[in-house]
């Protein structure tokens, strides 16, 4: 091997190794996150459009319901928004019933595809419901608002 060839190979090896070392090694966390994201994408791809639409309607309605409850700072505000809460709760329950009527494999894919959002929005709602029922500042309105919110059918 000539000295010129050796230097070329050495330079190539140095550049190659430097490139490997400069690449961030993210380990299992990145692979796990990628696999979970991939599972969500696969489940989403398997869903018919009507199931996606129902899931989005449910999540949108739950988001609206959670916002309405967040805005209630006192019994007067809660009373003023009671009609809107009832309407929104009804829409959420309709979407949930329609989701629950889907075939089991489609429901399973809805849960896989929308799992994190479902968990978050349902958890927020349950926290609100518990607070309204136990917060003495809502007084007797808690007994009026609580039953309306109890009628909300959650999709899990």
Give the pLDDT confidence score for residue 130 in this predicted structure. 85
Give the pLDDT confidence score for residue 137 in this predicted structure. 67
Reported as a single tens digit per residue, the pLDDT across 93-141 is 999 999 999 999 999 999 999 999 999 999 999 998 888 777 776 666 6
Structure-token match 């896989």, residue found? 112
Give the pLDDT confidence score for residue 48 in this predicted structure. 96
Residue pair 62/114 in contact (Cβ under 8 Å)? The answer is no
Task: Tell me: pLDDT of 17 over 80.
Answer: no
pTM: 0.72
**Cα 15 from Cα 22, distance rounded (Å):** 10
For residue 109, CA distances in Å to 1, 41, 46, 56 come to: 61, 10, 7, 14
Q: Which helix (H) or strand (E) holds 87?
A: helix 82-100
Reported as a single tens digit per residue, the pLDDT across 20-79 is 444 444 444 444 445 556 888 999 999 999 999 999 999 999 999 999 988 887 777 878
DSSP states along 92-135: HHHHHHHHHTS-HHHHHHHHHHHHHHHHHHHHHHHHHHHHHHH-
Give the pLDDT confidence score for residue 38 in this predicted structure. 83
Phi, psi torsion values for 153, nearest 5 degrees: -95, 110
Q: Which residue did the predictor score with more confidence, 44 or 146?
A: 44
Give the pLDDT confidence score for residue 35 in this predicted structure. 53
Q: Which helix (H) or strand (E) holds 3?
A: helix 3-22
Q: Three-state SS string across 6-56, please?
A: HHHHHHHHHHHHHHHHHCCCCHHHHHHHHHHHHHHHHHHHHCCHHHHHHHH
Phi, psi torsion values for 23, nearest 5 degrees: -75, 125
Q: For the chain, what are the domain ranges?
A: 47-156
């Amino acid at each position: 091997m000539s000295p010129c060839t050796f230097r070329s190979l050495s330079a190539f090896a140095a550049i190659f190794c430097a490139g490997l070392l400069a690449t961030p090694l993210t380990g299992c966390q990145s692979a796990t996150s990628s696999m979970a994201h991939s599972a969500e994408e696969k489940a989403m791809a398997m869903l018919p459009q009507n199931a996606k639409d129902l899931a989005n309607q449910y999540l949108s309605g739950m988001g609206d319901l959670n916002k309405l409850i967040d805005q209630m700072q006192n019994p007067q505000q809660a009373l003023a928004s009671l009609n809107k809460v009832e309407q929104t709760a009804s829409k959420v329950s309709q979407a949930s019933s329609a989701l629950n009527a889907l075939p089991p494999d489609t429901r399973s894919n809805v849960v896989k595809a929308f799992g994190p959002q479902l968990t978050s929005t349902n958890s927020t709602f349950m926290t609100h419901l518990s607070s309204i029922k136990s917060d003495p500042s809502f007084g007797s309105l808690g007994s009026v608002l609580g039953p309306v919110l109890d009628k909300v059918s959650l999709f899990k």
